[in-house]
C-alpha cells in the first residue's frame, strides 16, 4: 500500500479529540500525544486540528486552578488547538464523561467542519475520548479511528459502563490502534474485533534522545539544582509518575539489597511521593534515594544518559515512552513482563525482564552493573522507533480509513 503524499493534492483533514494534551500550565501532560500529532501534521498529506476537552468541576477547586486558566485557543506550531471545558464531578462522573465531552465539543466541531470540512475524527485515548469521538463522528457523518495506550484498556475495561461504551465505539471505528501487540491482544480479549486492530508503535526524537558519554552526563546530572546527585557511585533511574501502579516502592526495596554506592533517582511527581519517602526512611535509604520532581524534557536526555540502569517495575503498561527514551540514551532497562515489554527488551543488551519482586529486580540490576552493555549498543535497540516512522504509519492507517480500505493489520 503506497500512501506517499501526492504533490499538489489537497491534504486530508483530521479532527483529533484528545483529553491528554499539553497546555501552557501543564506542558508535560500528554506530551507524547502532541508529538505524534505534530509528526503527522508535518507531512504534506494531513492537516490536523485538535480539540482538547478539559474537565472542570461545577464549583471552583484549588487543585483545578491551573486547568481552569487554560486559554481557549492556541496555535501550536502546525496544530490548531482548541481547549474546550466540560463539566465533570471528580470521582463520580466517569461513566458520563463521554457524553459530557461530546455535548461540550460538538458545537465547535460542527462550526469548524462547516468552515472547512474534516475527513476523519480520531480519539487519542480509548476512554473517555473514544466514545466521545464516536458521537462527534456520527454527528458529522465521518469515519472514526481510536488509539489505545494502556491504562485506558486495563483500567476502564474493567468498568462495566465504560467497557460497554468502549465496545460500541470500537464497533463503529474504521480502525483501532494499539501501542503494542500485547495490548492488541488485551483489546481483543475485551471483545474488540482483532481484524480492526493495528499495532502503532510510539515515536522518538533521535536528535534529542541519544547517548551522551555517561561520565559527562553524570556531571550534568550532579549539577541539577537541589538534587544532590553525587558524581561518584552508580545510579539507577526510575522515570514515571509517582503513583502506586508504577512500582517505585519495589525499586526502593531492591536498592536495599544493592551495594551502598548504588543510588536511585526518581524523576516524576505524584500522590505516592509521601509513601515512597517514608519507605526510603524506614529502610535507612533516605540518603540514597533522590526525588527529582518533574524533570523538563530538555534535561531528561542528560539524566537518562547519566543512569547505569533504568528501573520501572510497573504493574501495567502499554508500551512506555520512558522505556524507549532510556534505551535511546544508552541506558538498559529492568522492567516486568507487562504490556509490550518483550517487544522492547528483545535482546539482552536492552536489559532484563523480571518478576515484580525486590529480589528479582536487585538481581537483574546487579547483573547489568557487573557487565554493563555499551551505550551505543543499547541505543541501537531503539533505532526502529522514530516520529517519521510513526507518522508514516499513522498516515497510512488514516488514509485507509477515509477511502474505505481495510487497514494493514499486523
* Domains defined for the chain, CATH in brackets: 12-203+386-403 (3.40.50.2000), 214-380 (3.40.50.2000)
Q: The dihedral of CA 199, 202, 207, 209: what is its sign?
A: negative
Instruction: Compute how many other C-beta atoms are within 10 angstroms of the C-beta atom of residue 328.
Output: 26
Least confident of 34-48, 52-66, 187-201: 52-66
Predicted confidence at residue 385, as pLDDT, reads 95
**pTM for this prediction:** 0.89
The single residue listed with the C-alpha cell 486547568 is 67
Least confident of 28-42, 52-66, 207-221, 328-342: 52-66
Predicted confidence at residue 4, as pLDDT, reads 56
CA distance 309 to 345: 13
Q: The dihedral of CA 194, 195, 197, 201: what is its sign?
A: positive
Q: Considering only CA atoms, give the Rg of the chain.
A: 22
Contact 220, 302 (CB under 8 A): yes
271 Cβ contact list (under 8 Å, min separation 6): 242, 243
Predicted confidence at residue 8, as pLDDT, reads 54
Predicted confidence at residue 66, as pLDDT, reads 81
Taking Cα atoms as reference points, which of 391, 237, 224 lies closest to residue 308? 237
CA distance 41 to 38: 5
Predicted confidence at residue 29, as pLDDT, reads 85
Residue-wise pLDDT tens digits, 253-281: 999 999 999 999 999 999 999 999 999 99
3 pLDDT exceeds 90? Answer: no
At residue 301, φ and ψ (nearest 5 deg) are -60, -40
User: Pairing state of beta strands 79-87 and 73-76?
Assistant: antiparallel
The SS3 call for residue 145 is: strand
Predicted confidence at residue 60, as pLDDT, reads 86
Predicted confidence at residue 249, as pLDDT, reads 98
Residue-wise pLDDT tens digits, 87-134: 998 888 899 999 999 999 999 999 999 999 999 999 999 999 999 999
237 pLDDT exceeds 70? Answer: yes
1 pLDDT exceeds 50? Answer: no
More confident residue, 17 or 24: 17
Predicted confidence at residue 218, as pLDDT, reads 94
Taking Cα atoms as reference points, which of 212, 146, 143 lies closest to residue 177? 146
182 pLDDT exceeds 90? Answer: yes
Taking Cα atoms as reference points, which of 230, 245, 229, 184 lies closest to residue 409? 184
5 pLDDT exceeds 60? Answer: no
Predicted confidence at residue 228, as pLDDT, reads 76
pLDDT averaged over the chain?
Answer: 94
Buried b or exposed e, range 70-91, using 16+ CB within 10 angstroms = beeebebeebbbbbbebebeee
Residue-wise pLDDT tens digits, 294-318: 888 889 999 999 999 999 999 999 9
Cell representation of residue 87: 463539566
More confident residue, 3 or 336: 336
376 pLDDT exceeds 90? Answer: yes
Taking Cα atoms as reference points, which of 247, 254, 239, 263 lies closest to residue 336? 247
Taking Cα atoms as reference points, which of 152, 132, 131, 134 lies closest to residue 144? 134
Name the pLDDT band for 410 (thresholds 50, 70, 90): low
Name the pLDDT band for 20 (thresholds 50, 70, 90): very high
305 Cβ contact list (under 8 Å, min separation 6): 211, 212, 213, 214, 217, 329, 330, 331, 375
Buried b or exposed e, range 308-321, using 16+ CB within 10 angstroms = bbbbbbbebbbbbb
Name the pLDDT band for 6 (thresholds 50, 70, 90): low
**H helix runs in 233-386, sequence order:** 248-255, 273-282, 300-306, 321-328, 341-344, 358-370, 375-380
Amino acid at each position: 500500500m503506497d500512501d506517499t503524499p501526492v504533490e499538489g493534492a489537497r491534504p486530508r483533514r483530521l479532527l483529533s479529540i484528545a483529553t491528554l494534551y499539553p497546555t501552557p500550565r501543564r506542558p508535560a501532560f500528554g506530551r507524547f500525544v502532541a508529538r505524534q500529532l505534530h509528526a503527522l501534521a508535518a507531512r504534506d498529506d494531513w492537516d490536523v486540528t485538535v480539540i482538547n476537552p478539559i474537565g472542570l468541576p461545577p464549583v471552583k477547586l484549588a487543585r483545578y486552578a491551573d486547568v481552569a486558566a487554560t486559554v481557549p485557543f492556541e496555535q501550536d506550531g502546525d496544530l490548531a488547538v482548541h481547549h474546550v471545558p466540560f463539566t465533570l464531578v471528580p470521582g463520580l462522573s466517569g461513566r458520563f464523561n463521554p457524553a459530557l465531552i461530546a455535548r461540550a465539543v460538538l458545537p465547535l466541531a460542527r462550526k469548524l467542519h462547516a468552515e472547512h470540512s474534516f475527513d476523519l475524527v480520531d480519539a487519542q485515548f480509548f476512554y473517555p475520548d473514544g466514545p466521545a469521538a464516536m458521537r462527534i463522528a456520527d454527528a458529522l457523518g465521518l469515519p472514526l479511528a481510536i488509539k489505545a495506550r494502556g491504562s485506558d484498556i486495563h483500567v476502564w475495561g474493567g468498568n462495566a459502563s465504560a467497557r460497554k461504551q468502549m465496545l460500541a465505539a470500537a464497533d463503529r471505528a474504521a480502525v483501532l490502534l494499539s501501542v503494542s501487540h500485547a495490548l492488541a491482544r488485551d483489546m481483543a480479549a475485551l471483545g474488540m474485533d482483532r481484524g480492526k486492530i493495528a499495532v502503532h508503535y510510539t515515536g522518538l526524537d533521535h536528535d534529542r534522545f541519544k547517548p551522551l558519554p555517561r561520565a559527562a552526563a553524570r556531571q550534568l546530572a550532579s549539577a541539577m539544582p537541589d538534587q544532590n546527585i553525587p558524581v561518584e557511585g552508580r545510579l539507577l533511574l526510575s522515570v514515571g509518575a509517582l503513583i502506586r501502579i508504577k512500582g517505585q516502592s519495589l525499586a526502593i526495596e531492591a536498592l536495599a539489597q544493592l551495594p551502598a554506592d548504588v543510588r536511585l533517582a526518581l524523576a516524576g511527581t505524584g500522590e505516592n511521593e509521601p509513601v515512597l519517602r517514608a519507605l526510603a526512611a524506614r529502610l535507612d535509604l533516605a540518603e540514597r534515594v533522590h526525588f527529582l520532581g518533574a524533570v523538563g524534557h530538555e534535561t531528561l536526555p542528560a539524566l537518562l544518559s547519566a543512569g547505569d540502569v533504568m528501573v520501572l517495575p510497573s504493574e501495567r503498561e502499554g508500551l512506555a515512552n520512558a522505556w524507549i527514551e532510556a534505551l535511546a540514551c544508552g541506558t538498559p532497562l529492568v522492567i516486568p513482563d507487562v504490556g509490550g515489554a518483550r517487544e522492547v527488551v528483545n535482546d539482552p543488551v536492552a536489559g532484563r525482564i523480571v518478576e515484580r519482586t525486590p529480589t528479582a529486580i536487585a538481581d537483574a540490576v546487579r547483573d547489568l552493573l557487573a557487565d554493563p552493555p555499551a551505550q551505543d549498543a543499547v541505543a541501537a535497540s531503539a533505532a526502529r522507533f522514530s516520529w517519521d516512522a510513526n507518522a508514516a504509519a499513522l498516515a497510512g492507517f488514516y488514509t485507509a480509513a477515509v477511502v474505505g480500505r481495510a487497514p494493514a493489520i499486523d
